[in-house]
Chain A
Amino acid sequence: MEDFVEIKPKGKPLKRIYLNLMLWFVGRAIQASAKVDKKVKQEFEDLPKGYNFALGAFPNGPWMVVGKDDDGRVRYLGRNVKDKTIDLWMTLKSVEALFLLFTFQESTPVSNARSRLFVEGDLPHACAVVRIMDIVQVYLLPKFIAKLAIKRYPRWSLKQHIIGRILVNARTLIGY
């Protein structure tokens, strides 16, 4: 047939670089928040030991893997999903959907409502991860951006806002 062409569409390198950076930062921020914030600590205590979850884009990532080891410590485990046992997969249907999430054009509940997010694993644990990410985003982002990223902006004390942010951001950069 004359008008037939076969095409293998290429990738989106710039968006991939941006998303890798964001996921790296958020992963380390989750690790930091688990030591700073009481609610995040409590959420992780309710998860079983050795529990790993991954957030990323279908089909080939980028991915963020965070886990709780046998000692109960929360660690950012990198972006490689192949050599790990993942108990909870939170997958966005495309790199574009993940990009919408991490440029805060859509919050996680809106993304879920628009069928961009699917979960393989325990649903209560997925809800816990969403709550953790909401708290982390409040620590990382200024208020006018965080309000776009989460469902409801929390009422925290000034001390928690200032000191919590300093500690989470510093620990995120250091990686401790």
Chain B
Amino acid sequence: MKQIYNRHRIADEVYFTSITDKKFKVNSITVNFITEMTHNAAENAVLDRMLTKCCEKYDTMAKLNRRLSELYSAGLNYSVISYDDYQVCSLSANVLDNRYALEGEDILRETADILLGCIFAPYLENGAFPEQSLDIEKQNQIDDNDSEINDKTRYAHFKALETGFTGEPAALRWGGTNEEVGAVTAKTAMNAYRRMISETRAEIICVGESSFDGLDKVFADAFSKLERRVKPLPESKISPLKNEVARVNENLDIEQSKLVMLYKTELRKPYPLIVMKGLYGGTESSKLFLNVREKMSLCYYCYAGLLYGKGTVNVECGVAPENIGKTEKECANQLGEIVKGNFTDEELEFAKLYIINSYRSMNDTVSGIGGKCLTSILTPELDVDVEERVRGIAAVTREEIIEAAASLKLDTVFTLMPGEKEADE
């Protein structure tokens, strides 16, 4: 079955994409508001939460959730992420396909209407968001920020990025700081709302069994009622290499240490970097997995990631405290092996096959397709068509891998170690 992909502009800096694939039993509609990461991040994050709690038509959380439940457990969700130098605030609705509605109801259209209502007709009191709800969502955002510590792997990752991208938008927290969240008022939340719907680039992505006929017009009508004044989204910049490697250690009363190393590159070739990352530490046949984890048993997890838009490769390990130095050295050594060309054609082929398999598998989930579309919009060098991406991966040469590995320079090393809480920079 073929996927039908269609993206078109429906208003000033508003784009509507629909991907129809008859194999799915559910449909998803996501409205992504994309803005440069700034100190407004906290207002946007709190607002995103507020908008999924109620709306003019369903003016309490209970009424809204009740109606969504009646629609066979339709979901209405918010998400706030940082992507390169951007903050992406998303509101999404997921619902079963109409053919599974037991009484023939048009559950897709009604769920879409609820999503539209939440975005364009929020529940207000005297023209402002109710103070009590705002206070609850501010507190929830602060709790979410603080809960980063619950997952030490994630905590170490973000702490490393904070150091690695110092002074850049990408160093800011996706949900703002607690102080910024605390300072949000009914007035600033309303300003953030106006900014979001009138001044922010929007990408609406619909995926599922439905053809989503007419939904573009419904969204176009809603946006046409606003006076849109959108500044073009600034280009995300790659992160410059520091003059000397930044080393930061933090101590916490924990059992296992974490090591995060950030390498920077100025190379702007996505596919060679993706394959090199796979060969180095992105698969179960990679150098880091097979050597550092399996052969040397230095750590429980050890992998490499790529933040292409920031020109950064992150290496992350969970390691016994006494092995931290040895692990850092060995991770660097494995990269050096690639630079020297010490990898077989077979290893290269395996990395490519793994990536190709994961690209093709993306087409088998609604969230995979939605994520792929958004990524290719934010990183235009990455094709939206999976087979185009597959061709890009397949064409990468040994020389390009060596070039990509050689372009990496160590920029930041963050360690989380057991001990009395203290930060040492």
The judgment on whether A and B are partners is no
